A = this chain, B = another copy of it.
Amino acid sequence: MDRHFDEELKILKEKLISMSSIAEEMIQKSTTALKDRNTALIADVFEKEKDVNMLQIEVDDIALKLIALHQPAASDLRFIISAIKINSDLERIGDLAINIAQCAQDLLKEAPLKPLIDIPRMADIAQKMVKDAIDAFVNKNSVLARDVCMRDDSVDDLNDQIFRELLTYMMQDSKNINRAIELILVARHLERIADHATNIGEDVYYIVEGKDIRHHVEDSQ
């Protein structure tokens, strides 16, 4: 493969790493804003949205040019197509962090319903899943990719647990309902972020191992 192709591929990877870093920062800041009742962090998150959107367009352009100009071999082609899919996942992750920031904005207008423990924990796991999924992609590390997919269950469990706890708050006093629903939504957004990281992990596993674990992750162990 020619040197120009390798350089372009390196840029593609770097752009995805930048996008992932921004998305991770958005996840962290939106949930910390909520936990620490810090409105300045919410503004930071909104500010980052356009950076993610711009990177999304750049990554798609680079990927398409790589395919059109260099007609890469099958394995490189698979890698570039995955970059296009991962690009969409990262953009959605950014959108979900924006959704969390919007919930935080509403929640900070009222007194706190309860101290937040599980939501920040969920955010930490989801953020690490995004980071590791992208690391697995750029390093073609199928072991790490599968590990990311396996962590999805713990996020789903936390989401269920948060949901049940908040349901109790709502049952106790109807004045809690609004805030409880916002927190349920935050947990759900985090769960979807973890789902996108899992999608990336599944894609990486596929391009490295040539096996599809999308619809049967448990079979690949």
Contacts and interface: CB of A to CB of B under 8 A. Distances in A.
Interface of A: 50, 53, 56-57, 63-64, 67-68, 71, 74, 77-78, 81, 84-85, 88, 167, 170-172, 174, 177-178, 181, 184, 199, 212, 214-215
Given A64-B74, A177-B177, 15 more contacts: A50-B215, A53-B215, A56-B214, A57-B212, A64-B81, A67-B81, A68-B77, A81-B81, A85-B85, A88-B199, A167-B177, A167-B178, A170-B170, A171-B174, A172-B174
Work out how many copies of this chain go into the complex: 2
A214 B57 contact: yes
Given A167-B177, A171-B174, A81 B84 contact: yes
A81 B172 CA distance: 51
The 6 A-B pairs of least Cβ separation, nearest first, read A53-B215, A171-B174, A71-B71, A170-B177, A68-B74, A68-B77
26 contacts: A50-B215, A53-B214, A56-B214, A57-B212, A57-B215, A64-B74, A64-B77, A64-B78, A64-B81, A67-B77, A68-B74, A68-B77, A71-B71, A81-B81, A81-B84, A84-B84, A84-B85, A85-B85, A85-B88, A88-B199, A167-B178, A171-B174, A171-B177, A174-B174, A177-B177, A181-B181
Nearest to A172: B174
Contacts of A178: 167
A170 B77 CA distance: 52
A56 to B, nearest CB: 7
A28 to B, nearest CB: 23
Contacts of A78: 64
A63 B177 CA distance: 48
A57 B77 CA distance: 17
Nearest to A91: B214
Contacts of A212: 57
